[in-house]
Amino acid sequence: MACRITFVLFPGFQQLDLAGPMAVFEVAVLQRPGSYRWRLVASAPPQARSSAGVAWPVQGLPRQLGEGDLVMVIGGDGVDAACADARLLAWLQRAGRSGARIASICSGSLVLAAAGLLDERGATTHWSRSRQFACDFPAVQLQPDRVYVREPARRRRGATAPALPEIWTSAGMTAGIDLCLALLAHDHGEDLAREAARQLVVERRRPGGQSQFSPLLELQRPEGRFGTLLEQVRHRLHEDLSVEALAAMACMSPRHFARCFRAETGTTPAHAIERLRVDAARAALEGGEPSVQRVATGCGFGSTERMRRSFQRLLGRPPAAFRKGLSAA
């Protein structure tokens, strides 16, 4: 039975966020006819104008969704207005209760968060929106370094509470292709996903997390108070960088430091240090450092196992996958 995909658009959506995922499913249908079918919808039909100025024909928001359907919210510059679209948010809440799977591309995850679908669940978004996301939706477990995040469906506490839907969120733009290839593998197996990647001339699995930007640059703000501290920390990753140690370096109390740091950077001190350590370790391994133990020690992880867990959590792959000479394989 075909999976019906409902692509949700809004004025100012990003065309690449739609075209990339659509191309993945188009290739899948060519290889396996009848596997997917789709429609474009919006809360204000009959057209949704993209940020490039091109108007796409759309249907209205459907009244019914079936179990196994996939609702995919596209991202783009118009996402802030979409987050205030009460009709769209109410429809997404009903979609979450219908048994359909929910997904978002790029900044479309902010719309899911505004609808309350991501509370207490993991998600990612475009890196440029991560600080806004963390400030506006603190109940969401934001994972800004991930290319995509899958939250399986699960039951809520209480016998009468509705189930939480399966939700997929992706990082910026081309990461939507990574998410859809993973969805394809989940639905129809790894062989079809690999064939789709081959036809699209993309990697089946990107070698790393959302590492196309520097965590240090993303955490720093030109007018912020922690730029100098972060620059110092980058050269002292092997040292004790607990909240207490960082607060002492900033001449602040630990509690006040933690609160101010999160307000400015959109993340906790512990997560920021973990990101910087992972980025430094990845660079060392890709640069040819042969000893995983030496990298773990030099970057402050303390043990290879702790470094492995951080790599899996933030990049989705173990340290060995980034060693020079193995990445290409």
pLDDT of residue 328: 39
Q: What are 256-301's pLDDT values in tens digits?
A: 999 999 888 888 999 989 988 998 898 888 777 778 999 999 999 9
Domain spanning 215-322: CATH 3.40.1010.10? no
Query: What pLDDT was estimated at residue 103?
Result: 98
Verdict on whether the full-model pTM lies above 0.75: no
- Residues in the chain with pLDDT < 50? 207-213, 325-329
Query: How far is Cα 157 from Cα 160, in angstroms, rounded to an integer?
Result: 8
Contact call for residues 143 and 154 (beta carbons, < 8 A):
no
- The CATH superfamily of 3-200 is Class I glutamine amidotransferase (GATase) domain (3.40.50.880)
Topology agreement, domain 3-200 and domain 215-322: no
Domain ranges in the chain are 3-200, 215-322
Count of alpha carbons within 13 angstroms of residue 201, beta-carbon side: 0
